[in-house]
Amino acid sequence: MLQLENVTVRFGGLTAVNQVSLSVGSGDVVGLVGANGAGKTTLFNAISGLARAGGRIVFDGRDVLRSPMYQRARMGIGRTFQIPQPMHELTVRQNLTVAQRFGTGGTDMRRIDEILEFTNLSAKAGRDAATGLALSELKALEVAKALATNPKLLLLDEVLAGLETNGKRHFMNMLKQMHDTFKVGILIIEHDIETISNLCQRVAVLNFGQLIAEGTPAEVFNDPEVVKSYTGAEHA
Amino acid sequence: MKQYKLLIPALLAVYVAVPLVFGSDNYVMSLVIASLVIGGIALSWALLGNLGGMVSFGHSAFFGVGAYASAVLTMQHGVPVFLAMLLAGVAAIVSAILMLPVLRLRGPYFALAILAYAHIFRILATEWTSVTGGSAGIANIPRLPLVASIDFGSKTGNYLVILTIVLVFAAVYDMIRRSPHGLALRAMHDSDDATRVVGVNNTLLKGLMLLVSSFMCGVVGAFNVHYINFLEPDYAFSTLWVTIPIVAAIFGGYRTITGPLVGAVVVYLVDQLVVKSIIPTGHQLVLGVVLVAMIIASPDGLLALVRKFMRKNDAAA
């Protein structure tokens, strides 16, 4: 479904993502890990069209490297932001209505109700997204908006960050169910190794913009180079 | 629902009661018509400014282009006045298409670029003397016609026409505001990425709004030229056609349908009837002070202030 070939993102003299090649198949759940500043979010920006990149980004057989962000969203690349970006001044339901109308070209209120229920936002549907929601609800709204566009691939950028333990557990269950219910592939950035191990079939590791390891969670988290990149120490 | 119950009596009042009560008073009718012209421009401005967050100082261009197009079409090509007014809206759209590149700009850069465009049209109107009459202008522009024994050229006829234009535009504004496109416009105001990431083509949407807005403003400009029957570049492209509607749209109420209209009527009538009689020269200064006070006291405008006051009274009762 998604193939990245030698994707590179440069900001002036800084190479934030360097020749990364990676693939995510239909229905796959792939984790993307790495220390802060490793280039994870920049890679998401490149895939979703927010950052200009070099190399090739192929989605569903089409090279989308030059496609604008809105077009990639309509093709089925959904994403969330690490810092939630709700559509301010709109209610939760209106956020989903806009996402569905522009992401899919149609309006299906039943589907929106389903998504609201799935993300536990039904009771907050009429609330103002900017002022009426707690952090966990804003994170759920990020996911709900992305789901409303009917994505084939979801890029989840640290959706669990900042949540307390129970909230994290609850959110993780929701993500697992989401994968089954909505038949959507997932590429997720997450720092918590336990979460990644529970959720993902494969893990890719970025370090200073380069892909340094890829494999099953067990393989990757025992890789000495990965441990060194995370802790700065040799594998014990 | 409550609003719709009030709609019919309100429409009857504006269509019947105003001409009955003030129809014989040319001065008051002139003021009411002028305030509706400003209300029409304020609505068209609000579509971009209040809804889309794009502060345009270029609406005088659409007003002027609409005015000139209608004047030229009726006088030089014999096009019927009402048809010419619609075509004037189309001419304003064409002028807006030339402005589309500025949609890539944001904030003050957008405002300045569109102001520069408006200035270009004023220079064109001054220099293209064979068509526009240059700085001498065009006189004897046909007034609104007589149709089915109704003299639309009379004060009352002019009032009914501009009232209808403004109400139709208000309905269009309301329809857009409630649609997913209107919601997306409101949303992109605060975060461009939040809308693009769900598939909204922000540039296209802003472009469409610019075209709709220019059409509205062009038609109002065309009406005005057949109302005053004279046109010259400094008047047609005056910054007055931008500043008063902006003041009205902000003063009346932020992102509401009635705000720009109420703002236009209140601001213009209070200025002309009250402030001007007390301070004949420099009376606009008072408007500036009132606007600043309003922004500080109620950033959401006059209507929000009235609602707040009514809620307080209800609670006290």
B190/A87 Cβ within 8 A: yes
What is the C-alpha to C-alpha distance for residues A107 and A75, in angstroms, rounded to an integer?
A: 17
**Residue A148 and residue B198: Cβ atoms within 8 Å?**
yes
pLDDT number for residue B4: 65
Phi, psi of A134 (to 5 degrees): -80, 170
Alpha carbon distance B208, B104 (integer Å)? 14
**Separation CA A145–CA B260 (nearest Å):** 32
Q: How far is B182 from chain A (nearest CA, A)?
A: 9
CB contacts < 8 Å between A and B, how many?
85
Give contacts of A86 with chain B, Cβ < 8 Å.
194
pLDDT at B306 over 80: no
Is B199 close to A149, i.e. CB distance below 8 A? yes
Q: What would the 3-class secondary structure string for A42-99 be?
A: HHHHHHHCCCCCEEEEEECCEECCCCCHHHHHHHCEEECCCCCCCCCCCEHHHHHHHH
The pLDDT value recorded for residue B80 is: 96
- Residue A94 has its nearest CB partner, among B183, B191, B202, at B183
Residue A48 Cα to chain centre, angstroms: 10
B122 pLDDT above the threshold of 60: yes
Backbone angles phi, psi at B99, to 5 degrees: -90, -5
> Does residue A231 carry a pLDDT above 70?
no
In three-state secondary structure terms, A10 is: strand
A149 vs B contacts (CB less than 8 Å): 198-199
Average pLDDT over residues A38-46: 93
CA distances from A177 to A199, B235, B269 (A): 11, 65, 61
Write the DSSP assignment of A174-193 as a string of letters: HHHHHHHHS--EEEEE-S-H
Picking from B186, B187, B199, the nearest residue to A103 by CB comes out as B199
pLDDT at A233 exceeding the cut of 70: no
Nearest Cα of chain B lies from the Cα of A232 at a distance, in angstroms, of 35
Chain A residues in contact with B186 by the CB 8 A cut-off are: 87, 89-90
> What's the pLDDT at A170?
85
Q: Average per-residue pLDDT in chain B?
A: 86
User: How buried is B144 (Cβ within 10 angstroms: 0-12 exposed, 13-18 middle, 19+ buried)?
Assistant: buried
Chain A residues contacting B via beta carbons under 8 Å:
48-50, 68-71, 73-74, 78-79, 81, 85-90, 94-95, 97-99, 101-104, 107, 130, 145-146, 148-149
Q: What is the mean pLDDT of residues B12-24?
A: 86
SS3 A21: strand
Contacts of A108 (CB under 8 A, 6+ apart): A100
Q: What is the pLDDT of residues B38-94, one digit of tens each?
A: 989 989 988 888 787 788 888 899 999 999 999 999 999 999 999 999 999 999 999
Judge whether residue A236 has pLDDT over 50: no
* pLDDT over 50 at B103, yes or no: yes
Q: What is the mean pLDDT of residues B108-115?
A: 83
pLDDT at position B257 over 90: no
Q: How far is B203 from chain A (nearest CA, A)?
A: 10
Inside any domain, residue A58:
yes
Residue with tokens 């197009």: B69
| 3-class DSSP state of A24 | strand
- Residue A162 maps to a domain: yes
CB neighbourhood size of B246 (10 A): 23
Q: Which of B181, B197, B204 to mutate to test the interface with A (most CBs of A within 10 A)?
A: B197
CA A218 to chain B, closest CA, distance in angstroms equals: 33
> What residue numbers bound the domain in which A199 lies?
2-224
User: Two tokens at B190?
Assistant: 């605060």
- Model confidence at B105: pLDDT above 60: yes
Task: State yes or no: pLDDT of A234 exceeds 70.
Answer: no
Q: Rounded to whole angstroms, what are the CA distances from A3 to A183, A201, A212, A219, B50?
A: 19, 17, 17, 22, 42
Q: Does A32 map to a domain?
A: yes
Residue B253 near residue B97 (C-beta atoms within 8 A): no
* DSSP class of A40: H
Q: Is the pLDDT of residue B160 over 70?
A: yes
Q: Kindly identify which residue of chain B lies nearest to residue A98, measuring between CA atoms.
A: B180
Q: With contact defined as beta carbons under 8 Å apart, do A70 and A50 qualify?
A: no
Count Cα atoms within 13 angstroms, Cβ side, for B71.
Answer: 28
Please name the member of A74, A86, A98 whose beta carbon is closest to the beta carbon of B183. Answer: A98
Residues of chain A contacting B185 with CB distance shorter than 8 Å: none
Q: Record the pTM.
A: 0.84
- Which pLDDT band holds residue A235 (cuts at 50, 70, 90)? very low
Band of the pLDDT at A21, cuts 50, 70, 90?
Answer: very high
The full DSSP string for B5-24 is HHHHHHHHIIIIIHHHHHTT
Distance from CA of A79 to the nearest CA of B (A): 7
Strands (E) across chain B are located at: 146-147, 150-151
**Which residue in the set B189, B191, B196 is minimally distant from A70, CB to CB?**
B196
- A195 domain residue, yes or no: yes
As given in the structure block, the two tokens for residue B123 are 């220079």
- Look at B184 and A145 and tell me if their CB atoms are within 8 Å: no
Q: pLDDT tens digit string along B223-244?
A: 999 999 999 999 999 888 888 7
For the cut 80, the answer to whether the pLDDT of residue A130 exceeds it is no
Q: Write the DSSP assignment of chain B as a string of letters.
A: -HHHHHHHHHHHIIIIIHHHHHTT-HHHHHHHHHHHHHHHHHHHHHIIIIIT----S-HHHHHHHHHHHHHHHHHHH---HHHHHHHHHHHHHHHHHHHGGGGG--HHHHHHHHHHHHHHHHHHHHH-HHHH-GGG-B--PPPP-EETTEETTSHHHHHHHHHHHHHHHHHHHHHHHHSHHHHHHHHHHH-HHHHHTTT--HHHHHHHHHHHHHHHHHHHHHHHHHHH--B-HHHHT-THHHHHHHHHHHHH-TT-SHHHHHHHHHHHHIIIIIIHHH-SSSTHHHHHHHHHHHHHH-TT-HHHHHHHHHHHHHHH-
pLDDT at A221: 83
With CA atoms as reference, the chain B residue closest to A103 would be B199
Contact A87 B187 (CB under 8 A): yes
* Closest CB to B198 among A50, A103, A107: A103
Give chain A's domain count.
1
User: Which residues, in sequence order, are bridge partners of residue A78?
Assistant: A154
Its ipTM equals 0.86
Residue A19 lies in a domain: yes
Query: Which CATH number characterizes residue A14's domain?
Result: 3.40.50.300
Render pLDDT for A5-19 as a digit per residue (tens, 0 to 9): 999 999 988 999 999
Q: Does residue A234 fall inside a structural domain?
A: no
Q: Does residue A65 sit within a domain?
A: yes
Comparing alpha-carbon positions, the chain B residue that sits nearest to A72 is B199
Contact residues of B toward A, CB < 8 A: 180, 183-184, 186-187, 189-191, 193-202
Closest-CA distance, B180 to chain A, in angstroms, reads: 5
Mean pLDDT for all residues in chain A: 88
* B183–A90 CB contact, under 8 Å: yes
Has residue B295 got a pLDDT over 80? no
